[in-house]
Amino acid sequence: MPSPLRVLVAVLAAFLLLTPSANAFPPPDSGIASQCTGAGELLGDPVGADGYYRCLGAGKARYERCPGDQVFSVGAEACVSRDVFPPELGDWGVSVDAPRGTTVRLGGALKFRVTAHNLDGVGDLGSVRVRVTWPDGLSWGNSADCLRLQGQRVAYCYLGVAHGTSADITLTASPDLLTIGALTVRGEVYGSNPVDIKASNNRDSATCHALTGIIVSC
């Protein structure tokens, strides 16, 4: 008969194995694997800056953590020294523009422009992550700089933006046939380096109106 001490040790070991860690590794991919088309691609991590996803092939990805003294740079698409992008303070903004004066008929596409502004910061290059959402009634098209979360109307867009300049993302979406009413696309700064200290310009939106899915005007 096993001793009470051995039973206690066995119970504790089972508890530790079955209890999820607060720092579980790797993080859930939230559909990131669906963005993989070929082996070797690197996809920035929308959860944090401690690592990235490496594509192993179509629909397959593995999370890899950067070394302890490094962070993942979206602009460089690589792990870099923390000294390269020190946690200085800056000011980032975002704006969203609909194709004004445009009327789209059935089968057409709407092109929304999301712009990230590096308004004030330290160093020549910064990196920013913009979170974009769109409503029911719009079907996601594509954007080379964005990763869509599978099954959700959310995408994370990654940009390297020089100090004092801006960078655009073009999002293509098509209205669904039975769509009626306002169609609002929203963008927000969701992480940056340098660290953003001004929240008042971190969100924007643009709206088009569907008379039916056959005619949409902006």
- pLDDT confidence band for 88 (50 / 70 / 90): low
pLDDT over 60 (residue 180): yes
CATH of 4-81, one of 2.40.160, 2.30.30, 2.170.140, 3.30.420: 2.170.140
DSSP string covering 112-181? EEEEEEEEE-SSSEEEEEEEEE--TTEEE---TTEEEPTTSSEEEEEEEEETT-EEEEEEEEEE-TT--E
Query: CA-based angle 146:147:151, to the nearest 5?
Result: 135
CATH entry 3.30.2350.10 includes domain 89-217: no
- pLDDT confidence band for 3 (50 / 70 / 90): low
Highest mean pLDDT among 63-67, 129-133, 196-200: 129-133
Q: Give the domain ranges of the chain.
A: 4-81, 89-217
Residue type present at position 209: H
Block residue for tokens 């950067």: 66
Q: What is the pLDDT of residue 13?
A: 40
Q: What is the pLDDT of residue 51?
A: 79
